[in-house]
Structure 1
Amino acid sequence: MAATSDSTPAAAAAASSSSSPLHIVVFPWLAFGHMIPFLELSKRLARRGHAITFVSTPRNAARLGAIPPALSSSARLRVVPLDLPAVDGLPEGAESTADVPPEKVGLLKKAFDGLAAPFARFVAEACAAGDGEAAAATAAAGFLRKPDWIIPDFAHSWIWPIAEEHKIPYATFLIVPAALVAILGPRRENLTHLRTTAEDYMVQPPWIPFPSNIAYRRRHEAEWMVAAFRANASGVSDMERFWESEQHPNCRLIIYRSCPEVEPRLFPLLTELYTKPAIPSGLLVPPALDDNDIGVYNRSDRSFVAVMQWLDKQPNKSVIYVSLGTEAPITADHMHELAFGLELAGVRFLWALRRPSGINCHDDMLLPSGFKTRVAARGLVCTEWVPQVRVLAHGAVGAFLTHCGWGSTVESFHYGQPLVMLPFIADQGLIAQAVAATGVGVEVARNYDDGSFYRNNVAAAIQRVMVEEEGKELAHKAIELCGILGDRVRQEMYLYELIGYLQCYK
């Protein structure tokens, strides 16, 4: 469906307030950086009276945690697990990118493609339960009727035949910044402007008509972009997956986990480039404390208690929180240089340390010999789960050393934390450039070709933010940005308008 004159945000908001509840099937890619924002969107839609079916695999569903009681008791949000098919070479029990080393993610995508048949059966059964107003009237919360929408991720190149067969529209939800989708570009622009080398991605693409910093500076980051256009072990490239899905007429909207305050000028451009509305969902930052949520954001295990008790004892704004997410391709050398850098910096730190994929050793062996003993008076290393949003909201935390994954970055924005940035792949380099341009973070200096970095670089960046006078200005700008992006009324309006678009375009 093409955009029409009545498909403005104001018209969408009006539709949101005047139409009946929707049944929406939500299906993220098998990475926690994807599943968590999809689940947050699901919760928010369910709280507004819509019936949400969240599809994943059994182990991921269990790790994401229970449905909040207020939503499960009203039967507005349910989880449907689909068994992931076995694939040769994929470790037994692997159901997410956190379970496999980077070189096996292609095999995970191959297994993911095997979910097409069970998902098709699920949709057929949902449609067979009934359709239209009569069916809706007999369904307590809308689950026993045909879905009004399917909201998949970038990886579902096989979703459109299923949606087309049952005449269900779908809206792709992208949890990456709009800038990444802009530099990737639609198929037609890539056919017109061929890009085959890393250098091609180190300049702004010709379809972005205004000055920007949407280009990669480092070769290793640009080489990731080249790889995204090549077929992987699944037999399909990541770009082909996205293009195959978004270019179909049944894909009526593209939703972005972003907003114009964060990425000005990009939403009109993306609407034009992809010939369908580019809709902001808002930042979808989960609450730091929600007694009704007993899932991933509010677990009371021992590691959680120990972390919070330790933070409670630290002076205000004295701790730098360190986390490189679940998917950055961290090596043992990276771990050691980061550890030595934290030691040299001489500041308090909390490090949520994740074992690099493919490295089999005791947790203590991941770190330099004697490191924990030498920093025990001012540093805490936690190898268990850490409640990141609650850490970022804690008064003792004064900065965040991050890989610049989009989820971590928007969470830092929301809680006013300046950043020490150590990007690795995908959108992370673009995000780091944008953050540096706003004056709320500094990057760790590193080699522009291979991305290597050293302990002195880490220590210098940390001290700039936590010790030197520059850090005060960074913290001030971070708080200013928090005031803009933490506007709950504005963020709520984005979700309200999104619901309106779903009502208008169904």
Structure 2
Amino acid sequence: MDTKSGSMHVVMVPWLAFGHILPFTELAKRIAQQGHRVTLLSTPRNTRRLIRIPPDLAGLVRVVDVALPRVDGLPEDAEASIDLTSVDLRPYLFRAWDAAFAGNLSDLLQEPEPWRPDWVLIDYAAHWAPAAAARHGYANRKAEQLTAVPDYVPFPTIVRYRGYEAWAKVKLDLMVDDSGVSEGYRFAKCIEESQLVGVRSSMEFEPEWLQLVAELYKKPVIPAGLFPPPPTQDLTGHEETLRWLEMQAPGSVVYAAFGSEAKLTSAQLHTIALGLEASGLPGLVCRGWVPQVTFLEHASVGGFLTHAGWNSITEGLANGVRLVLLPMVFEQGINARHMVEKKIGIEVARDGDDGSFTAEDIAAALRRVMVEEEGEELRVKVKELTKVFGNDEVNDQCVRDFLRCLKEHSRRDKD
């Protein structure tokens, strides 16, 4: 592609998790809307169930299906973290991903015009991608004291890991798993060897943190936008739930969901169910996949009991829904404290030693958000943030600024 004409070709490599593939897909569509070509790598099953490209962008967005090899220990047909029955199986999914995607990316980097890439946008786990891109003369861009606030944070904050979260984080970062490297190594290698870092955020929401990360990484950190996905159009099978929602008072319903990464135990699910019941708020149980954004934007939904995954937080705030936060894994505890500090959510109280919680802990947090005066203060604050999270112009401007930065740093432009 002739970058001097102003258009680029961007290759995107998201990790195999719903919460990664979906935002990468949304970013791909927004980049294409600006007239640029995008190649998005995924697997056949993930393409079928997640990736929807509008017909008017089909000529600009190319989805490349990469078949995963058979790996001992990986369940058959497992192509995303949601397909794993245990977090202990993640290393086998990493191993399959590494084996299949590294070679496919190398092939793409050698393609002739008009599909010769200008940029490779990689997710946190593709530690092999920066070296592959560098071999073919390309720049790369990466899209991301544990129990105490570090000294290098120059402003007051409550954002930190709890003790029970810190140990899990240390194990994840440092312990080499059956894929051959640790998850911390994957993340650090991507950051170290990338020219730019992109963050799914905006300066309107968290300028202080974006500026700090840029100082720490000593390279440009660009907010690429929040881009919450649009509501699902096909609501087949969910008509009864929508009719039930129509009968509820505005803002009276709590929507509860915990994402695709965390595998809740039977005891945790039982405790959450008892807490929802004890709150006295109206509820309905749905099994299987549901159109989350459609439910969150419904007028009767006023609260969101969530695991504090960034995808879910973005979707909730874009629709003006107050947050009840019950973080489970990875960076979710950090996300939860960030939302509490911004006064747009309440975190469920937990045991400080092991992170356990009771039904009353769940019910108390729900009542604070949905019934008590504190919840009204949250509602006002969240409504203000819909002007950032749910504003297409703000998000589109982030994408335009992000693309301008890519052009300015394009190696091929310099050549």
- The alignment's TM-score, normalised by the length of structure 1, stands at 0.77
Corresponding letter in the other structure for 1:283? L
Aligned pair 1:54/2:24, yes or no? Answer: no
| Aligned pair partner of 2:204 in 235, 254, 261 | 261
Contact map agreement 2:225 2:398 (CA 8 A) in 1: yes
Q: What's the counterpart of residue 175 of structure 2?
A: 230
Deviation string 1:314-370 (CA, Å, 9 cap, x unpaired) is 22111111111111231100100111111111111xxxxxxxxxxxxxxxxxxxxxx
5+ unaligned residues in a row in structure 1: which ranges? 1-16, 131-143, 175-199, 289-296, 349-378
Counterpart selection for 1:148 from 101, 118, 122: 118
In the aligned structure 2, how far is the partner of 1:102 from the partner of 1:446? 22
Structure 1: 4+ residue segments shifted above 4 A = none
Contact 1:307 1:386 in 2 (8 A): no
User: Quick one: which amino acid aligns to residue 108 of structure 2?
Assistant: V
Q: CA deviation at 1:498?
A: 0.3
Once the 2 structures are TM-superposed, how far is the Cα of residue 499 of structure 1 from its aligned partner? 0.7
CA distance in 2, matches of 1:486, 1:36: 17
1:108 aligns with 2:108: no
SS in 1 for 2:308: coil
* Closer/same/farther in 2, CA of residues 254 and 65 from structure 1, 3 Å limit: closer
Aligned-residue offset at 1:70: 1.6
Confirm whether residue 170 of structure 1 aligns to residue 155 of structure 2: no
Distance in 1 (CA, whole Å) between partners of 2:102 and 2:191 is 20
**Residue equivalent to 1:270:** 213
Distance 2:154 2:230 in 1: 37
Measured in 1, the distance between the counterparts of 2:50 and 2:390 equals 25
Question: Residues of 2 paired with 1:63 and 1:282: CA distance?
Answer: 24
Alignment-mate amino acid for residue 35 of structure 1: I
Distance in 2, matches of 1:18 and 1:160, equals: 24
Stretches of structure 2 that go unaligned for 5 or more consecutive residues are 411-415
Corresponding residue for residue 205 of structure 1: 150
CA contact (8 A) 2:32 2:57 kept: yes
How far, CA to CA, are the matches of 1:301 and 1:435 in structure 2?
33
User: Cα deviation per residue 1:210-264 (whole Å; 9 max; x = unaligned)?
Assistant: 3322321x2221112211222122121112112222222xx22100001223223
Conserved in 1, the CA contact under 8 Å of 2:202 and 2:223?
yes
1:302 is matched with 237
Aligned to 1:31: 17
Query: Percent identity among equivalent residues?
Result: 40
Shift of residue 490, structure 1, vs aligned partner: 2.6
* Aligned residue identity for 2:43: T
Q: Which amino acid aligns with 1:46?
A: A
Does 2:147 match 1:161? no
**What amino acid is aligned across from residue 474 of structure 1 in structure 2?**
L
Task: Answer whether contact 1:116 1:159 (CA < 8 A) is retained.
Answer: no
Conserved in 1, the CA contact under 8 Å of 2:205 and 2:388? no
How far does residue 115 in structure 1 lie from its aligned partner after superposition?
1.8
Structure with higher RCO (Cα < 8 A, 6+ apart): 1
* More moved, 398-407 vs 162-171: 162-171
Q: Which amino acid aligns with 1:256?
A: V
- SS at structure 2 position matched to 1:382: coil
Please give the secondary structure, in 2, of the residue aligned with 1:54: strand
Q: Aligned runs of 1:344-383 on 2, under 5 Å?
A: 344-348=278-282, 379-383=283-287
Q: Distance in 2 between matches of 1:264 and 1:503?
A: 23
Contact 1:56 1:82 in 2 (8 A): yes
Tell me the equivalent position of 2:383. Answer: 479
Q: TM-score, normalized by length of structure 2?
A: 0.93
In the TM superposition, residue 125 of structure 1 has moved relative to its aligned partner by: 4.9
CA distance in 2, matches of 1:404, 1:56: 25
Question: How many residues were matched structurally?
Answer: 406
8 Å CA contact 1:219, 1:449 repeated in 2: yes
User: 3-state DSSP class of the match of 2:107?
Assistant: helix
1:120–1:66 CA distance, 2 compared to 1 (3 A)? closer
Match of 2:227 in 1: 284
Inter-partner Cα distance in structure 2 for 1:166 and 1:18: 20
- Correspondent of 2:186 among 241, 245, 258: 241
**Relative to 1, partners in 2 of residues 1:165 and 1:422: Cα closer, same or farther, differing over 3 Å?**
same
**Cα distance 1:215–1:246, how it changes in 2: closer, same or farther (>3 A)?**
same
**Equivalent residue, structure 2, for 1:193:** none
The structural deviation recorded for 1:19 is 5.0
Counterpart of 2:35 in structure 1: which amino acid? Answer: G
Shift of 1:60: 0.9
In the alignment, structure 1 residue 64 sits paired with structure 2 residue 50: yes
Q: What's the counterpart of residue 403 of structure 2?
A: 499
Cα distance, 1:21 vs. partner? 1.1
Give the drift of 1:488. 3.4
Q: In 2, distance between residues paired with 1:18 and 1:281?
A: 22
1:1-53: CA deviation from partner (whole Å, max 9, x where unpaired):
xxxxxxxxxxxxxxxx9952111111100000000000000011111111111
The alpha carbon displacement at 1:466 in A equals: 1.5
Shift of the 65–116 alpha-carbon distance from structure 1 to 2, 3 Å rule, reads closer
**Which amino acid in structure 2 is aligned with residue 387 of structure 1?**
P
The reply to whether residue 431 of structure 1 matches residue 335 of structure 2 is yes
The answer to whether the aligner puts 1:81 opposite 2:65 as a matched pair is yes
- CA RMSD for the aligned pairs? 1.8
Change beyond 3 A, Cα 1:311–1:341: same
After superposition, what is the alpha-carbon deviation per residue over 1:123-153, rounded to whole angstroms, capped at 9, x for unaligned? 2552xx24xxxxxxxxxxxxx3311111110
- What secondary structure is seen at the aligned counterpart in 2 of 1:381? coil
**1:148-202 C-alpha deviation (Å, 9 max, x unpaired):** 111110111111232122212221113xxxxxxxxxxxxxxxxxxxxxxxxx310
Q: How big is the shift at 1:65?
A: 3.9
**Correspondence for 1:122:** 107
How big is the shift at 1:437?
1.9
SS in 2 for 1:479: helix
- Closer, same or farther in 2 for the Cα pair 1:222/1:52, shift >3 Å? same
Amino acid of the residue matched to residue 219 of structure 1? G
